[in-house]
Amino acid sequence: MKDHLLQISERIKELREILDISALDMAKDTNISYENYCKYENAELDIPISVLYTIANRLGTDVTVLLTGEEARMDSAAVCRKGKSVKMERYPGYEFSSLAHNFKQKTMEPLLVLLDSSTPATTMVSHTGQEFNYVIEGQVKIIIGKTEHILNEGDSIYFDARLPHSQCAVDGTAQFITIIQK
């Protein structure tokens, strides 16, 4: 999966250079610290999905291009067959799969997320839009601001994604669907 992160970072840098945007301007335009932006572009730091959207928007492309190197092709419906999603490991113990990677001009991003409790909880993130999480299996702790919510299989939560939030498996592994509105 580290190779996948490197490929994404290379695509970002290549598109930025084609558009003749400096790394400093890119960092300013996306409201990312210059230090972190450089680490993202050099594959030294994992790129949160919300940051991928911000970068894709600034580059005038779809996040699918950054994830796969290919343009999304579908505009009426996109089927994602079992085992055919675009997967990315954010870091050990946190993997997500894009379930609509081939749909053009998405206004939301459905992801299948796999968590493993043997790794530390994710750092808090925030992004524009709203987010919906539905637990398929296991138990997930979702922290929004200073409030913790424990969700079990069949439970869901909908929240303002501008609030700092994180998710982690409580015991063992957990799987949930998240839908992020852009």
Q: How far is CA 116 from CA 15, 58, 65, 66, 121, in A?
A: 34, 33, 28, 26, 9
CA distance 69 to 71: 7
Domains and CATH numbers, the chain: 2-68 (1.10.260.40), 86-181 (2.60.120.10)
Of the candidates 108, 105, 111, the one whose C-alpha atom is nearest the C-alpha of residue 130 is 108
181 exposed, middle or buried (CB, 10 Å; 0-12, 13-18, 19+)?
middle
pLDDT by residue for the chain (182 residues), tens only, comes to: 457 778 999 999 999 999 999 999 999 999 999 999 999 999 988 887 778 888 998 999 988 889 888 887 888 898 988 888 877 766 667 788 889 888 888 888 899 999 988 876 667 888 888 999 999 999 999 999 999 999 999 999 999 998 999 899 999 999 999 999 87
Long-range contacts of 143-151 (CB under 8 A, 24+ apart): 143/167, 151/176
Measured CA to CA, the distance from residue 106 to residue 113 in angstroms comes to 19
Find how far residue 115's CA is from the centre of its chain.
14
Q: Is 62 exposed, middle or buried (0-12, 13-18, 19+ CB in 10 A)?
A: buried
